[in-house]
Amino acid sequence: MTSLTIRHVTTYRYRHPVAFGEHRMMLRPRDSHDQRVIEVSLDINPAPSSLRYEKDDFGNHVAIAEFAGVAAELTFASIVSLEHSPAEALHSDLDEAAAIFPVDYTDDEMADLAHCIHRHDLGPDDAVARWARRFLPVDDQIPALELLRRLSRGIHDGFLYRRREAKGVQPPLETLELGHGSCRDFALLMIDAARSLGLAARFASGYLATMPNVAPTEAHGATHAWAQVYLPGTGWVDFDPTTGNVGKASLVTVAVVRDPEQALPLHGTFVGSRADTLGMVVHVSVTPHPAETA
């Protein structure tokens, strides 16, 4: 088990004082068997006139701030301490129904998972589905987990990672055509590819708990996005096509949703024109604190 401190600060700056509308924040990690939130603080400057907390339809924590007055700068500073203890390896004893592709969901499972199988814009020839089928063996069966590993590695090995500051996510077809994208884009491509094969998949976002080439106790910082796919008997399995990893060993989950636009870490409005905006600065640090040994 490792203790983590996550500091996430976002600052908006404007040419002159402006009024602010409602701002919604998804910054608090989810509580589960493999991560437990110990302490949370949220400092907003200028202070909101009201701040309330709720959970959305997926069980994600949402903070909602309302403001009165005007300011030329608006800062949100979230500090979270949590215990992180994901399993070292994925369980190999997958339910028989999920062992071999195609996966056979029960009627009860389908009732709950249908919204995570439905696809949106398929394009004229469904290029994403054609690309996904490349990972199916021609004359042999394949375990569902191995197929998903191949999909994830196919994105990791076959596409160029590019960090994008622009809002939004590239459509899967655009990522396929461009051959590059951000973690959000790779996650959505993985989700759409899995759905094209009849698998329930959803979007997950949060933070990287560990990073390559960084000492285990050294602070680092990155928000992140990946895919989760549902396998009977096992549940939601995390696939990170950006790193090629499977499982949650390096991931802290803040939100799980059907589609990426439902998992924005922070979004809101202000009263003014686009020209009033000077920019946004985001700083994220994740500091591990290994458990003490006797």
pLDDT tens digit string along 90-129? Answer: 555 555 556 789 888 999 999 999 999 999 878 889 999 9
H or E element at residue 148: helix 144-158
pLDDT of 32-91, one tens digit each?
A: 988 999 999 999 999 999 999 999 999 999 999 999 999 999 999 999 999 998 875 555
- Average pLDDT (236-247) is 94
149-158, 160-169, 215-224: least confident range: 215-224
Instruction: Identify which has the larger pLDDT, 144 or 290.
Output: 144
CA separation for the pair 203, 241 (Å, rounded): 12
For tokens 């939601």, what's the residue? 236
* Domain 2-84+264-290 architecture: Sandwich (2.60)
What residues have CB less than 8 Å from 153, skipping those under 6 apart?
Answer: 241, 244
Tokens of 77: 């500073």
- Average pLDDT (281-285) is 93
Task: Tell me the β-bridge partners of 43.
Answer: 77
Burial of 102 (0-12, 13-18, 19+ CB in 10 A): middle
Q: How far apart are the first and last CA of the chain?
A: 14
Tokens of 157: 């090995």
Pick the CATH number of 96-262 from 3.30.479.30, 3.40.50.720, 3.10.620.30, 2.60.120.10: 3.10.620.30
C-alpha 212 chain-centroid distance: 19
pLDDT band at 279 (very low <50, low <70, confident <90, very high): very high
CA separation for the pair 258, 29 (Å, rounded): 17
Q: Where are the CATH 2.60.40.2250 domain residues in the chain? A: 2-84+264-290
Q: pTM for this one? A: 0.91
Q: Residue 267: phi, psi to the nearest 5?
A: -155, 150
Q: Where are the CATH 3.10.620.30 domain residues in the chain? A: 96-262
